[in-house]
Amino acid sequence: MADFLFTDIALQNIRSGTDIIQTSGRDTLGIAPSRYVSDSLATASLMAAHPRFVARSSNGRYWRALPEGGRIPVEVGGAKGNGMVDDGPAIRATLAYAAAIGARGARGARFESAHYRVEYIPPSEAIAQGTPPIQMVAANALVQDHSGASFTRQNGGRGIVYHPENLGPIIDLPLGQDVTAGSRSVTLASGLGTQLAPGDTVLWQLGELPYDLPETLNWSFATVVSVTGDQIGLDRPIPEGLTLASVSGTCKRLRKLPVLRDWALRNLVIEGPAEDGVSLYCAERVRIENVGGRNIGAGTIVAQYCDGLTIEDCWQDGCLTTQPSFGAAFSFAETRNTVLLRPRARATLGLIKAEAGAHVTVIGGMFENTMTDSQGQSLGVGVVVINAQGRASLTLHDLTITGFGGYRLMEVSNGLAHYDGFAQFSGTLRLIHPTAPYSIPLKAITGLLDLTIGGVREVYNFERLRHWRKRFVLRDGEYRYVYGPAGLLARARGYVTPGVTVGTGSQLHAFYLGRKDANGANYADALQPGKDITIRTYAGDVGGAQWLFRNQPFQVLCATAANAGLNAANEFVELECWFAEQSELDVTLSEDAVRSAGVEQDPLEAVFPAYDLPAIAAGATISVILPIPDMLASDFIDSVRFLGGFAGLELRSAEPQAGGARLVIANPTGTTIDRSATELGIAFHHEVAGK
């Protein structure tokens, strides 16, 4: 090792026969020693652009820092790595120098210390879109590997950001004509074609969502292939047409801008206070690995208008209180082909938020619900683990949630009609809490629900649901309970014939779904005559007023108004349900076992609430015909019941007929029997073809 420093090179007369020198440090003995080379790249212009890495010896020779293994330590650029001095200028200078000399592109910086203090970029150094970041991604970046270092800051702002506006103005080019679906060309407003040339990259934005303008579902990147006046040819078709008059805002345009492509970020922790960790706008084929956020607000990764984004083993820890979380750990809008592998978050307001048509796949996620307010209390329903709004689409496989039980597992509505998002859970959804969650959207689960609540474990299998259906033939003055299976009500639909009025004060005024010890909620108002209606099913709500009753028998209460005119009408309400039952992982029901349980049958029952059977003389037999409009001659009568029993009478036969049933009833006693009016029910099912 030489006995002079980098700062001493200007004092050295290094003879022409020496082309590589070794310093003993940058400006302090033993700190950032490095080798420097005098070659064709070491020039006065390189020294003017990168004075931290290039020096001129006393005899007029230029010496530049030489990469080791293709990388330049940021300490050679002056970084201290002590958490006290702002190392941002040194880190940015090292990245710029590495790119200038072609040191493996932007991969050419190496981080040798564990912690660096990195504050935001001042306006004098770079123009930044929005709040100033601590580091900006260059358009020609390839890989930025931070070797497991952490960036700590004392002032707010953003983390690592890519936005094309940072690199120059975005040129907005409004359209001049409507767009046809499948078209590979658009027409700009008069005179704007001169702004584009073949090879330019553009973002199309066509049609706006009804909030947070300028968000849009119909967007993509395209390359300009031809320019003929104001007609612009593109290299891909536009999937949806657009009428300019249908859009009141700005999203009927092309935007000329640079797109970040084929970039990777690895092995970094961003410690706040900070607004967000990594923020991307307009990127393709980006990979982010092992990047964490601690004490930041809006999220470790925030992305908009990105296609082909892979996020692997990234995390956010919001446990500190100087910058509490005000968003999900990972947030997406207008993204496609986005994959998160093993994302993790704790003490944040959520794990994933997707909006504005974002498409996201999550595999192996982990969320710990431990965020509290200033009094140390759980935020309860203020925490939404999975948020899919504005026609966003999320698929989640093997998700684990621990911590406090109070939260909303999933939210898909932003309150605007026809803009709900979609989320679906597959694999194993594992919940481990001291108390029950507030709500679990059972309809969105297709695999196993593995619950441990207060140390008690239950596993429910949503891959094979138990089917149950019940039809109520409506009669006046009905107030009738029916019980079904136990288990979690995973899906439910209801249908009422077109002639029935529903809701309070109507013919069908009560249709309660609950459990044996809890009536639950009245869904009469949710029914729409003549339409199949999907009933929202949340654990602890529909199908069980409280989580405590989840495994009690399902209960349905049907009530109609007196003198409603239903007795002679062909009206009914039908409920169809699918239940997830507790499952032992080493037991699988066979298909025969499932069929033998009767789930393939069509169970029906005609109920006559106050049927007055004629008096039957001693030893006599009578035949009665009961009108049942939906009975067929090929049906099977399963049972005939009188509320209070037959009172000494005998049922000799029950024969189905088209539109009714014929009962033969005998009086075997020695006295006349004239029983009082009571409820008569006839249970039957239609013929099923095959087994």
Distance CA 476, CA 507 (A): 8
In contact, 266 and 145? CB cutoff 8 Å: yes
In contact, 330 and 355? CB cutoff 8 Å: no
Structural domain includes residue 388: yes
Structural domain includes residue 390: yes
C-alpha distances (whole Å) from 415 to each of 232, 333, 418 are 38, 18, 9
Structural domain includes residue 76: no
Query: pLDDT tier at 2 (50, 70, 90 boundaries)?
Result: low
Query: Which residues form the domain of 641?
Result: 604-685
Is the pLDDT reported for residue 368 higher than 50?
yes
For residues 276 and 350, membership in a common domain is answered with yes
Which 8-state DSSP code applies to residue 214? T
Query: pLDDT tier at 592 (50, 70, 90 boundaries)?
Result: very low
C-alpha distances (whole Å) from 504 to each of 157, 532, 555, 648 are 55, 20, 20, 41
Is the pLDDT reported for residue 628 higher than 60?
yes
- With a pLDDT cut of 70, the percent of the chain lying above it is 93
- The SS3 assignment for 78 reads coil
Is the pLDDT reported for residue 141 higher than 80?
no
For residues 480 and 526, membership in a common domain is answered with yes
Is the pLDDT reported for residue 232 higher than 50?
yes
Query: pLDDT tier at 443 (50, 70, 90 boundaries)?
Result: confident
Choose the final residue of a domain: 256, 277, 308: 256
> What's the mean pLDDT in 509-516?
88
> What's the mean pLDDT in 86-101?
90
Structural domain includes residue 383: yes
For residues 341 and 411, membership in a common domain is answered with yes
Q: What is the pLDDT of residue 376?
A: 77
Q: What is the pLDDT of residue 318?
A: 84
Residue-by-residue DSSP string for 579-627:
EEPB--TT----HHHHHHTTTTS-EEEEEEEEE-PPPB-TT-EEEEEEE
Distance CA 559, CA 678 (A): 17
Is the pLDDT reported for residue 595 higher than 50?
no
Query: pLDDT tier at 340 (50, 70, 90 boundaries)?
Result: very high
Reference 153, options 372, 338, 31, 320; nearest CA is 320
Structural domain includes residue 50: no
Is the pLDDT reported for residue 336 higher than 70?
yes
Structural domain includes residue 53: no
Structural domain includes residue 86: no
- Which of 494-503, 517-526, 588-597 has the least mean pLDDT? 588-597
Name the CA dihedral angle for 90, 277, 346, 294, rounded to a multiple of 10 degrees. 20
pLDDT in tens, 383-402: 899 999 889 999 999 999 99
Work out the mean pLDDT of the chain and round it to a whole number. 86
Choose the final residue of a domain: 256, 273, 291: 256
Q: What is the pLDDT of residue 589?
A: 40
C-alpha distances (whole Å) from 673 to each of 130, 616, 670 are 90, 5, 9
> What's the mean pLDDT in 190-206?
95
> What's the mean pLDDT in 105-125?
82
Structural domain includes residue 69: no
The larger pLDDT score, comparing residue 45 to residue 249, is at: 45
For residues 229 and 366, membership in a common domain is answered with no
Is the pLDDT reported for residue 1 higher than 50?
no
CATH code of the domain covering residue 549 = 2.60.120
pLDDT in tens, 305-318: 999 999 999 999 98
**pTM for the model:** 0.79
Choose the final residue of a domain: 585, 600, 615: 600
Query: pLDDT tier at 601 (50, 70, 90 boundaries)?
Result: very low
Is the pLDDT reported for residue 144 higher than 50?
yes
> What's the mean pLDDT in 53-69?
91
For residues 275 and 411, membership in a common domain is answered with yes
Distance CA 501, CA 310 (A): 52
For residues 197 and 248, membership in a common domain is answered with yes
Q: What is the pLDDT of residue 393?
A: 94
In contact, 661 and 641? CB cutoff 8 Å: no
Query: pLDDT tier at 423 (50, 70, 90 boundaries)?
Result: very high
For residues 289 and 325, membership in a common domain is answered with yes
- Which of 282-291, 441-450, 576-585 has the least mean pLDDT? 576-585
Is the pLDDT reported for residue 222 higher than 90?
yes
> What's the mean pLDDT in 89-98?
91
- Which of 139-148, 596-605, 623-632 has the least mean pLDDT? 596-605
> What's the mean pLDDT in 556-571?
86
Reference 575, options 626, 511, 498, 630; nearest CA is 511
For residues 212 and 326, membership in a common domain is answered with no
Evaluate the omega torsion of the peptide bond into residue 214 and state whether it is cis, within 30 degrees of 0. yes
Which 8-state DSSP code applies to residue 86? B
Number of domains in the chain: 4
For residues 407 and 500, membership in a common domain is answered with no
Q: What is the pLDDT of residue 604?
A: 76
pLDDT in tens, 252-308: 999 999 999 999 999 999 988 888 899 999 999 999 999 999 988 889 999 999 999
- Which of 437-446, 524-533, 621-630 has the least mean pLDDT? 437-446
CATH code of the domain covering residue 636 = 2.70.40.10
For residues 570 and 633, membership in a common domain is answered with no
